[in-house]
Homo-oligomer: A and B are copies of this chain.
């Protein structure tokens, strides 16, 4: 059978599963989630064996240490996966929730109700824990899921997906609710994202290469978990100590994640007092600074920033620094070079805060807080499937609600249109 036919059949099975999933009660879904967690527990050894095979293949293929680390399923990570499943049990089920209801003058009663999206394709890279996270969040919202993980984690993902599906089936999970694409053929991704009418949404999670490959081929809607070129802007009205603490936290607390900052913008009137204090506090972290001319006039030992630096997502202990004329210039810089993810202003006065929050075109805009809080857990959503840098449907942290859509149910008593 061709890859195309294979994928069409997989999608058809997912559509059938999605119909059955839409009929499950929350109570039943929660019992199934518990059964999935139990099954992971009872297959712990098999999971570790499969992961050892992936690790061995990865070492032979010469994967870097950080890639191998992401691939590794230690007991602690398996524990955390299992805990993740049980945590989702207690989250509120958005499916069936009434969003609004109103009556029309002709007596029609319109109810807007949250419903599952249908079939969701998740396309991701090396971390095998995404298999459990994504499958459980899609399931809790009654969506069928097709998983396409990275080829490095192929054995781990297979054991995990089978455990989830088979464990869930013991408590009534519909067949094919959780499917994993077996082939590591890259064309499978293209097939998946072109399945109009069968796949309702594709969510790519990974590096720029993966995301761009998905966008290029997609015919189905895509929500991207894209890069984070995030900023802190320090206004002339900022409290200096607050500004330093926020900047250091946003850069250094975990530099390899999307909501860490890459560029610091500082108002010209405060640069001379702020930058030296910042530099001092950054020293223990050995952050490499790259500044524009005005920043280098204050801190001459900074490297010179190039135009490329403003676009760069370092994901590392590097920070570009630019002195700006005012809040308007800061907004312009962020909208031009940023990735519409998370940006923060540190300012004392209402005026600059208001301009910044209104005009910065990003999913999350902070006033006097670190950008590192852009996260489903930190937002109180309980779990997240990603952080959308898109504007449509879901923006910012995507929790359970963002994995649903709505339909209108209209009750009448024989109304016809005149």
Q: How far is the CA of A108 from the CA of B117 in the complex (A)?
A: 31
Q: Does A362 contact B (CB under 8 A)?
A: yes
Contact A364 B410, beta carbon cutoff 8 Å: yes
Other-chain residue from B19, B215, B366, B392 in contact with A410 (beta carbon distance below 8 A): B366
Judged by a CB distance under 8 angstroms, whether A200 is at the interface is yes
The 8 closest A-B pairs by CB, nearest first: A369-B412, A249-B416, A372-B417, A393-B393, A242-B414, A364-B408, A221-B392, A369-B415
Pairwise interchain contact B359-A23, C-beta atoms closer than 8 A = yes
Pick the residue among B118, B359, B378, B392 that contacts A117 (CB under 8 A): B392
A57 at the interface (CB under 8 A from B): no
B358 touches A22 (CB 8 A): yes
Query: What CA separation (Å) do A374 and B408 show in the bound complex?
Result: 9
A395 contacts partner chain B, Cβ-Cβ < 8 Å: yes
Please state if A335 and B19 are interface contacts (CB–CB under 8 Å): yes
**In the complex, which residues of chain B have a beta carbon less than 8 angstroms from the beta carbon of A372?**
416-417
A379 to B221, CA, bound (A): 26
1/0 per position for A244-257, CB-CB distance to B under 8 A?
01101110010000
| Contact flag A414-B357 (CB < 8 Å), given A108-B369, A221-B392, A407-B396 | no
Task: Report Cα–Cα, A357/B111, bound state, in Å.
Answer: 11
A370 interface contact, C-beta 8 A? yes
On whether the beta carbons of B380 and A411 are closer than 8 Å, the reply is no
Q: Which one of B22, B221, B395, B409 lies within 8 Å of A365 (CB-CB)?
A: B409
A→B interface (CB under 8 Å): 19, 22-23, 102, 104, 108, 110, 117-118, 196, 200-201, 215-216, 218-219, 221-223, 239, 242, 245-246, 248-250, 253, 335, 357-359, 361-370, 372-374, 378-380, 390-393, 395-396, 405-418
> Would you call B380 and A104 a contact (CB within 8 A)?
yes
> A interface, by DSSP: helix, strand, loop or mixed?
mixed
Do A196 and B221 touch (CB < 8 A)?
Answer: no
Contact B219 A221 (CB under 8 A): no
* Complex-state Cα separation, A215 to B72, whole angstroms: 39
B365 x A410 contact (CB < 8 A): yes
Q: Nearest Cβ distance between residue A48 and chain B, in whole angstroms?
A: 31
The one of B364, B380, B391 that contacts A118, using a Cβ cutoff of 8 Å:
B391
A368 with B413: in contact, given A118-B391, A335-B19, A359-B23 (CB under 8 Å)? yes
Contact partner, A392, options B201, B218, B249, B363, Cβ 8 Å: B201
Most buried by B among A357, A359, A414: A414
Shortest distance between the CB of A390 and any CB in chain B (Å): 7
Interchain nearest-CB distance for A226 vs B (Å):
11
Which of B219, B368, B407 is A414 in contact with, Cβ under 8 Å? B368
What residues on B are CB-neighbors of A412 within 8 Å?
A: 366-370
Contact A391-B200, Cβ < 8 Å, known A219-B215, A368-B412: yes
CB distance from A146 to the nearest CB of B (A): 16
- Choose among B239, B407, B416 the residue that contacts A395 (Cβ–Cβ < 8 A): B407
Smallest CB separation, A113 vs chain B (Å)? 8
**Chain B residue nearest in CB terms to A413:** B368
Q: How far is the CA of A407 from the CA of B200 in the complex (A)?
A: 24
A221 CA / B117 CA spacing, docked (Å): 16
* Nearest neighbor of A375 in chain B, beta-carbon distance: B417
Cβ–Cβ < 8 Å partners of A364 in chain B: 407-410
CB of A385, distance to nearest CB on chain B (Å): 14
Report the Cα distance A374→B409, complex, angstroms.
11
